[in-house]
């Protein structure tokens, strides 16, 4: 994929996220888009990735062909006060004030590790992804959902905290999609590829799956 910020001419609200990221601890796959009609979407790293300080080494990993809606936020470990001590106050963070050893600064929070977003994930308007969450391929995150736990592939979640609403497809179709992993390799922009994503293809797969169940 060539360096290209805007997928569409005359649309400055949507960017290919990979080409506006500068931080070493953020990794975004090809064709993942972010739309922002309130702020400049090129400032995603500053406005949407919060408490992401280099001292922890935790990463934000976003796969290919994801769609991230306006105002979605990714919170990281450094904003997560420790609940393993008698006080939730971040004393180690203010080491100079309390004459503490700077080497213990990370004791101020509980480290949740990397946040990983799979491929073909749709994250809705103003959703919040909490530290260390893993979201599977093909999942959908509802508007203003607060995701505190891992989300299985091809699952729709919503609410506060986010809970599963339903799976997007039947199990047999999901198994096929997980085996296919259509986002891998080189995408050819041709009419031969995109019929795969049509509703008719989904209906065809569903009919075949039902027929197989009837014969079993």
Confidence at residue 189, expressed as pLDDT on a 0 to 100 scale: 53
Confidence at residue 199, expressed as pLDDT on a 0 to 100 scale: 66
Q: Residues in the chain, how many?
A: 216
Candidate list 10, 52, 81, 204, residue with the active-site label: 81
Question: pTM value?
Answer: 0.85
Q: Is 20 helix (H, G, I), strand (E, B) or coil?
A: coil
Question: Model confidence over 175-205: pLDDT tens digits?
Answer: 989 998 989 866 555 445 566 666 666 666 6
Confidence at residue 190, expressed as pLDDT on a 0 to 100 scale: 46
The answer to whether 52 is a known catalytic residue is: no
The angle at the Cα of 110, spanning 132 to 69, to the nearest 5 degrees, equals: 35
Residues in the chain with pLDDT values less than 50: 190-191, 216
Domains and CATH numbers, the chain: 14-76+112-168 (2.160.10.10)
Question: Model confidence over 40-51: pLDDT tens digits?
Answer: 999 999 999 998
How far apart (Å, rounded) are the C-alpha atoms in residues 187 and 194?
Answer: 10
Confidence at residue 86, expressed as pLDDT on a 0 to 100 scale: 83
């Amino acid at each position: 994929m060539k360096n290209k910020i805007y997928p569409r001419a005359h649309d400055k609200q949507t960017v290919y996220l990979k080409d506006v990221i500068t931080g070493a601890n953020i990794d975004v796959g090809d064709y993942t888009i972010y739309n922002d009609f309130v702020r400049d979407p090129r400032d995603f790293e500053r406005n949407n990735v919060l408490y992401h300080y280099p001292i922890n080494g935790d990463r934000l990993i976003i796969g290919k062909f994801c769609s991230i809606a306006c105002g979605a936020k990714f919170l990281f470990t450094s904003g997560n006060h420790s609940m393993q001590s008698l006080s939730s106050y971040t004393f180690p963070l203010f080491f100079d004030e309390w004459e503490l050893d700077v080497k213990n600064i990370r004791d101020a929070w509980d480290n949740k590790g990397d946040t990983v977003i799979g491929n073909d994930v749709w994250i809705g308007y103003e959703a919040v992804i909490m530290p260390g969450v893993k979201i599977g391929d093909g999942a959908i995150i509802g508007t203003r959902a607060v995701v505190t736990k891992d989300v299985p592939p091809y699952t729709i979640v919503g609410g506060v905290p986010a809970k599963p609403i339903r799976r997007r497809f039947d199990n047999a179709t999901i198994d096929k999609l997980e085996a296919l992993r259509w986002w891998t390799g080189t995408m050819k922009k041709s009419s031969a590829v995109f019929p795969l994503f049509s509703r008719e293809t989904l209906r065809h797969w569903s009919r075949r799956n039902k027929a197989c169940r009837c014969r079993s």
